[in-house]
Structure 1
Amino acid sequence: MDPLLTSALLAVAAFAAGVLNAIAGGGSFLTFPALVFTGVPPIVANATSALAVSPGYLGSTLGFREELRALPARRLKLEMLISAAGGVAGALLLLVTPSHLFTGIVPWLLLFATALFAAGPWIARHAGGATTGDARWRHPALLAVAIYGGYFNGGLGILLMALYTVAGETRLNTVNALKNLNSLVLSWLSVAAFVAAGAIAWKEGLLMMVAATAGGFAGARWSRQLPVRWVRAGVIAIGLAMTAAFFARG
């Protein structure tokens, strides 16, 4: 593929991913496949995709700083530590996964992430309040979700929201605040592991970081005008199309 065309494709995909993440999530359905289809090996593409969308987590976390200040500092530190450990563990697991094995499970990961995204509203409506916010299983579950997020980012936010909702947290803004904080920590730590391992395609990654950040700013403004249900339907359609494409690739 022509280098100029490749750069344009990656920039457009990353910009659109930034817009999607600002409105409804699901940006990794664009960044990861775009990298693979332009010739980046799947494991490197997954690591580079995580780098591309990582700046957006900081802005999202800062947007909920009031909710985070209202929570006990000891709880936040413990959950950040768990998320950091899980993010690094997931990244290391990805790095030791044979390339052919990861290529084989990518369609299933995309299908799982798409199904999770589609089920997100149902989970939010039906999963809450069964236990207390201090459920003992919350920390092991958080570690498992963080490992998944470090390994493959798709659907991470929905998993975190489901975890806190099932654990009894009824305040939506607090759920979002914890989701964004833990996503920020595990994402940045997993990216740091990818960088240390030399698993980042820097030329593509830096271009996509800039484009995704610009898309995030645009999406924040467009979110007031675009019906979220339309955006969600578009994300699901993209996820299914990408899943089918990866299955077709074998």
Structure 2
Amino acid sequence: MDSVWEAVAVLLAGVAAGTINAVVGSGTLVTFPTLLACGLPPVLANVSNNIGLVPGSLSAAVGYRRELAGQRQRVLRLGSASLLGAAVGAVLLLVLPSSAFDDVVPALIALGVLLVVFGPLLQRRVAARAAARGGRGEHGVWWVWPAVLGTGVYGGYFGAAQGVLLLAILGIGVDDDLQRLNGAKNVLAFVANGVAAVVFLFAAHVDWVVVALIAAGSVIGGQLGSVIGKRLPPLVFRTVIVVVGVVAIVALLV
């Protein structure tokens, strides 16, 4: 960080990201553009951001511990998919040329924004379809595991809106209350972020000042999101994410 103000901005972005991740997902759409604005190269920003958000993911999972009751087998089964996928995604980030990452980031952010915008509509439609089919079972339909695997690859590579995508998958394929699924989502996101972070620790350059700032902020945000997020409509969060995402896309393209 070149100034105190940049450090404060990254810390606050970490708080916002931790809160958003606990409630909706897509906190990376706040922290990643903030790091780019502070002058970090895209790959370094992504790696440092991923590691910094791991404690926040754990904080959010702990905050949803009541909703996780009775989901041990489900989380273990789907967690294996997140683990494998994230390892693949993290390796892809490291082996592909930096130019490839630069080119794909705007598309990934655009995908995240679209998922944030259309996520609630998608969840309502698939819930109605599932009810017509008579339920989806404790562990979900057959394609849930490979879909979580694919989301893990995405999470290990970049991860913006990973939580929204996971919620959409779980909402479509698993018959359970959305708040309980959100608790499972937080654990799966923590697994994906944690695995990718381990890979990055051994194979990538890391800005530890950024990691510390985002980690501190995201832990606070994870608790805030788990306490107040269950009671607040996500519209405000979604609006902020969309605005930040669009600004990031424009900045990257220009």
Interval of TM-score (by shorter of Structure 1 and Structure 2): 0.7 to 0.9
Correspondence 1:190 to 2:189: no
**Alpha-carbon separation, structure 1, partners of 2:227 and 2:50:** 24
Provide closer, same or farther for how the CA distance between residues 95 and 76 of structure 1 changes in structure 2, counting only shifts above 3 A: same
Q: What letter matches 1:213 in structure 2? A: V
RMSD: 2.4
Tell me the distance in 2 between the aligned counterparts of 1:144 and 1:127. 19
* One of 144, 154, 160 as aligned partner of 2:166: 160
Which amino acid counterpart does residue 59 of structure 1 have in structure 2?
S
Preserved contact between residue 169 and residue 175 of structure 1 (Cα < 8 Å): no
Which deviates more from structure 2 when the two are superposed, residues 14-23 or residues 94-103?
A: 14-23
User: In 2, Cα distance between the equivalents of 1:191 and 1:6?
Assistant: 23
Partner of 2:94: 95
Q: Report the CA distance between 1:71 and its aligned residue.
A: 3.3
Q: Which position in structure 2 is the counterpart of 1:9?
A: 9
Cα contact 2:55–2:219 (8 A) shared by 1: yes
Please state how far the C-alpha of 1:226 moved relative to its aligned partner: 6.3
Give the aligned residue type for 2:8: A
Do the aligned partners of residues 42 and 148 (structure 1) sit closer, same or farther apart at CA in structure 2, a change above 3 Å counting?
A: same
Deviation at 1:103, TM superposition (A): 0.6
Cα distance in 2, alignment partners of residues 104 and 124 from structure 1: 30
TM-score (normalised: structure 2):
0.86
Counterpart AA for 1:102: F
Per-residue displacement from partner, 1:67-124 (whole Å, max 9, x unpaired)?
4342363x43232222111111111111112111111111111111111111111111
Give the TM-score of the pair, scaled to structure 1.
0.88
Equivalent pair of 2:115/2:164 in contact (CA under 8 Å) = yes
Partner residue, 2:147: 141
Give the secondary-structure state (helix, strand or coil) at the position aligned to 1:54. Answer: helix
The change in CA–CA distance for 1:24 and 1:139 in structure 2 (over 3 A counts) is closer
Runs of 4+ in 1 over 6 A off after TM superposition: none
- Hey, what does 1:214 align to over in structure 2? 220
- The worse-fitting range, judged by mean Cα deviation, of 166-175 and 148-157 is 166-175
User: Do residues 33 (structure 1) and 33 (structure 2) align?
Assistant: yes
Does the 8 Å CA contact 1:118/1:236 hold for their aligned counterparts? yes
- Relative distance call for 1:68 and 1:5 in structure 2 (3 A) is closer
Measure how far apart 1:192 and its partner are.
Answer: 0.9
The percent identity for this pair of structures is 31
Query: Structure 1 unaligned runs (5+)?
Result: none
Aligned-residue offset at 1:54:
1.7
Q: Which residue of 2 aligns with 1:120?
A: 119
- How far apart, CA to CA, are the structure 1 residues paired with 2:76 and 2:40? 36
Check if 1:205 corresponds to 2:239.
no
Q: Distance in 2 between matches of 1:64 and 1:149?
A: 20
Residue 184 of structure 1 deviates from its aligned partner by 1.2
Could you say if the C-alpha distance between residues 8 and 62 of structure 1 is closer, same or farther in structure 2, counting changes exceeding 3 Å? closer
Count of residues in Structure 1 that have an aligned counterpart in Structure 2 = 247
**Matched residues in 2 for 1:228 and 1:77: separation?**
28
Higher RCO, 1 vs 2 (CA within 8 Å, ≥6 residues apart): 2
Q: Hey, what does 2:83 align to over in structure 1?
A: 84
Whether the aligned pair in 2 keeps the contact of 1:87 and 1:151 (CA below 8 Å) is yes
- For 1:56 and 1:44, the matched residues in 2 are separated by 19
Which amino acid in the other structure matches residue 172 of structure 1? L
Q: CA deviation at 1:224?
A: 7.9
